[in-house]
Every structure is written in C-alpha cells, then in structure tokens.
Amino acid sequence: MKNAFIYTDAYLHYDYGPIHPLQISRLQLTYDLIQAYHLLDLPSVQLLPTIQANEEDLATFHSREYLDVLKKASDGNLSGDAYAFGLGPGDNPIFPGLFDWSLWITGATLQAIDYVGSGKGEVAFNIAGGLHHAMKSRASGFCYTNDPVIGILKLLRLGKRVAYIDIDAHHGDGVQAAFYKMNRVLTISLHEGGHTLFPGTGFEHEIGEGEGEGYSVNLPFP
C-alpha cells in the first residue's frame, strides 16, 4: 500500500510579501530536500500533483460573504470591508491570487482525505496545509481558509469519527472552534501557552461544550 505526497510548483506563483514570516518558497526548499534524499523514489511513495478545490468545497465551512471578500482581495487590492474580515497589513496581507492560493491549499487536503478515505493508502501528506487559525468568516494567523476543518467535514460526511492532532507551536483555535460542541471530532492541540503566544487561547479548561464536552483537549507548554 502506497503513501501519498501531494505537491505542485503552482504554489510558487503566490507571495505573502518580502518581509512576511510565511515564505512560500519554503515549500519548494522542502520538496527539493525530499527529492535529494530520494524519498519520492521509494516504492511505498506516490507523488500526487495538487488539484485545486472549488468554491463549493470552501463553502462547506466558510460563509459566502467571507468568500466573496477573499475573491475581491485576489486582485491584490484592499477593498473597504476587508478589515472586518481580518484582511490587511500584518499577518493576513492581501496579495494577487490570494483566493486561488486558498483553493490550492484546500485542494491538497481534500486529495489527502480522498486518498486515505478510499483506502488507496494509509498516509497522505499535504506539505502546504494545516492553516488552522482561519475562522468561518475571518482570516487569522496567516490563514485565509481552514483546510483542516474542510477536510474533517468531508470525513464526517463519509460517516467517520475523527481525531485531529495539532502539533504547531500555536494553538489550533480555528479547528477547535469549528467542532467545540461536537462529539464526532476529538481535537488535541499541543502548543505554547496562550499567556505568551498567539492566539491567546488553548488553556486546559477549554474542553468543549454540550455534546462536545471532553472532546477538546489542550496541552499548553511554557
């Protein structure tokens, strides 16, 4: 049984800006390193070219109003209502192709879901994914669309129960918020504590609500 690595050079057509901490060129550098180690030549590995998601995929989580703002911002110009949706100078800049960039990232995650969910393989790796801060109607923390949430929603439609494990230095607040009252998704986040690091959440007492009580687990570290 093969494992999938999902990648496209089309990622490199987009740029958050020269001084932004998230440099998309890191994806190509990592891909080149993986190639240099001949990991993609292993018989157990299959390289899958990324296929874009579509707007309907994004709308399974994000509001139409927000998606319309992202599409307007994709021309690289700041419109009057962008600030209310978390867009603008700082963490979530507006740049040409912003909406298409989001479609690529989410598409790769949905490919990973399809690959594993259909039984083609046990593991699928979207090197560009994990944009876990985006909310239903707001960009946050370099994240415009929340590909983990959209992928998990697809798994739920397939009748699955999901354990989501987040090992980023920052709390996976967007994913936690999406499933905070649901008992079909267990979110586990290991991160630096919210007292000292963005997004200021992810404390031990955040355990879920209603049917979701006990299904949000946070392990904040110094």
What percent of the chain is predicted at pLDDT more than 70? 100
Contact 24, 14 (CB under 8 A): yes
**What's the confidence (pLDDT) of residue 25?**
96
The C-alpha atoms of residue 142 and residue 137 are separated, in whole angstroms, by: 14
Neighbours of 217 (CB within 10 A): 17
Indicate which residues carry an active-site annotation: 133
- pTM for the model stands at 0.96
Q: Is the dihedral of CA 73, 75, 77, 79 positive or negative?
A: negative
**What's the confidence (pLDDT) of residue 78?**
83
Helix ranges (DSSP H) in 47-167: 55-58, 64-73, 98-117, 147-157
**What's the confidence (pLDDT) of residue 79?**
79
Query: Exposed (0-12), middle (13-18) or buried (19+): which is 193, by Cβ within 10 Å?
Result: middle
Contact 123, 6 (CB under 8 A): no
Residues (pLDDT < 70) of the chain are none
